[in-house]
Each structure stands twice: as C-alpha cells, then as structure tokens.
Structure 1
Amino acid sequence: MITWFDALLVTLWAVLTALGARRGLAGLAWGLGGVAVCLLANALVGGALAAGLMALLLSVGGAFVISRLIPNPLEQPWHLLAGAVGGFALGGVLISTLALGFPLDVRVTAAGRSGVYPSASLPPAIYHAVHDSAVQSGLRQVWGAGPALKILLIPDQVRAQ
C-alpha cells in the first residue's frame, strides 16, 4: 500500500534527481561524492554529531574540488543524464536512510531477542504510514545485508550490535 510517507520519499528522490541533472557532470560528482562521504563518515566516526561534522567538512572540500575540476558541467547534452544518475544515487541513499531511520522495538521471547520495525510507540499516524509503506517494505532486506550497506543506511543499528 502506498502511503503519504511513500509520496514524500518519492518526491524527495525526484527532486534530488532533478537537482543532479541540473548540475550536469558536477551533479554526477556531487551525488556519487555524497554517497562516498556518507559511507566514510559513518564508517570512521562513532557518534552522530562527529559523523555529521566530518561529513560537513568532507562536503565542503569536495565542493571546492568539484568546482575546480569541472568548470563547465553542461557542455554536452549527455551531461544532464550523468548528473541525473548522481542525483538518483544520492536520493536513493537519502530516502532509504529516512525510511529505515525510525526507532525499533526489541521484543524478548522464548525464541530470543527480535527487532520489530517501526516501534509501536510512534504516534499512530506516523506508525501506520511507515509500517504500511511500500518503500520501507522494499528495503527490509537491508537488515540482513552486508556490512557496507548497513553502515551506509543504518549505522546506528550496526553500532548497537
């Protein structure tokens, strides 16, 4: 079922794809660089505040380098497509992180501990929107994915284990 939460996520993804296309080759570097910065910051730094600060510093440095290396980002028509790919990649990471970023409940049963996502303690409107989300349902395999994808999308859960 598609919820209002799905509509917001897809709209955000479309906006980032369009921003990447508008920037051309710089959008490709911006999008792929943004994914790399997120992965590096989450992998190397333990806390959210420190990771955010590191990501900010890397982003400023990356923006400076991109502006120097790509002076004319829209010389060819295919540059728009390249930029859209970068925006699509960064948008995919962002909406995945948002879809999986809500708290989860840990239930202890005779079979052991298990996580239930999202937490039932969320306000009802948000809980139902996230629980019934088609985007979030499609991302459930991330919980059992490899360490790199987990560090990129759900770093707090990797650190909690």
Structure 2
Amino acid sequence: MTWFDALLVTLWAVLTALGARRGLAGLAWGAAGVAVCFLANSLGAGAPASLILAALLGLGTAVAISRLIPAPLEQPWHLGAGALGGFLLGGLLISAVSLGFPMDVKVDARGARATYPSASLPPALYDAVRNSALQGSLRGVWSGGPALKTLLIPDQTR
C-alpha cells in the first residue's frame, strides 16, 4: 500500500460518511452521481462538453433530490442507505482517479504496447501509482466492457 492508496481510501471513506450523513438523500445523491457521470461521458463530445453537461445534469439532480427528499434522517436505516450511495460514488471517483494518469506507448519487435502509468510522471508519483494496490486491482477495466470504460476511462473509448 502506498501513500496514493491511503489518500484514495481516505477520499472513499469521506464520501461514504457524507452519504450516510445525508441519509436517504445520500443514496439518491450517489446513484444519481454515477448516472450523471455515465451520461456526461457517453454523450459529451470532449472534455469541455462533458464538463458542461455534467454540471447541468448535476445541478438539476441536486435540485430534484432536495425537493423530493427534504428530511435527511427520518429512519435509522436511512444512514445505511446513504452510506451505500456515498460508497458507490466514492468508488467511482477513486477508480477514475486511479486510472486517470497518462499512458506511455512503447513500440518494439512485438508491436505497440501501452504501459500505465507513464514513466514521464515525477518519480514519487510514478512509484506510488505503479505500486498502488487499488490501481492494480482495477487493471481489468482496460479490457472490460464498453460501459465500464465509458464510466471510468472515457478518453480511452473515443
């Protein structure tokens, strides 16, 4: 485990706690966040268009959730539902951050091969990302289905 893993796990825990604090609205917040990310990545033509689309969808979703679910904690089980929403959104965020660094393409006798992360990163960051347990567990995304790639690595699906 590297310092990069520690930061990602901390971020994941914070989002899970924020979801739990919001209660049932946290579940809606997390599920809608995942849906907004998927829609923005699949419908956006590039980074600026996706950013604008995500901001508009996120704002609309936030207004809808605040009007439909006004009380954050009506029942004790709402804490667990909210934590699940934060856990989902946090997992998406740390996965996207783990896989969001640049790649190197090396050409040799066997053909072109992509290596992740790029060796051009600063040495401390390169070592932390390359040796990351979380990033290592997400390597299957590169050969995963198109929906998973669209959600986590949209620049690689275009």
Please give the TM-score of this superposition, normalised by the length of structure 1. 0.96
Rounded to whole Å, the distance in 1 between the matches of 2:111 and 2:94 is 31
Q: What are the ranges of 5 or more consecutive residues in structure 2 without an aligned counterpart? A: none
Q: What are the ranges of 5 or more consecutive residues in structure 1 without an aligned counterpart? A: none
1:87 aligns with 2:89: no
| Residue in structure 2 matched with residue 133 of structure 1 by the alignment | 132
Please give the TM-score of this superposition, normalised by the length of structure 2. 0.98
| Residue in structure 2 matched with residue 78 of structure 1 by the alignment | 77
Larger mean CA deviation between 35-44 and 70-79 belongs to 70-79
Describe the superposition over 1:4-37 as per-residue Cα deviations: whole angstroms up to 9, x where unpaired. Answer: 0000000000000000000001000000100000
Rounded to whole Å, the distance in 2 between the matches of 1:114 and 1:36 is 32
Letter in 1 for 2:79: L
Rounded to whole Å, the distance in 2 between the matches of 1:121 and 1:68 is 47
Rounded to whole Å, the distance in 1 between the matches of 2:94 and 2:137 is 12
The CA deviation at 1:157 is: 1.0
Larger mean CA deviation between 46-55 and 131-140 belongs to 46-55
The CA deviation at 1:69 is: 1.0
SS at match of 1:51: helix
Rounded to whole Å, the distance in 1 between the matches of 2:117 and 2:99 is 8
- List 4+ stretches of structure 1 deviating above 3 A: none
Please tell me the root mean square deviation across aligned C-alpha atoms, in Å: 0.7
User: How many residue pairs align between the two structures?
Assistant: 158
The CA deviation at 1:103 is: 0.2
Larger mean CA deviation between 81-90 and 102-111 belongs to 102-111
Rounded to whole Å, the distance in 1 between the matches of 2:45 and 2:80 is 36
| Residue in structure 1 matched with residue 32 of structure 2 by the alignment | 33
Letter in 2 for 1:60: L
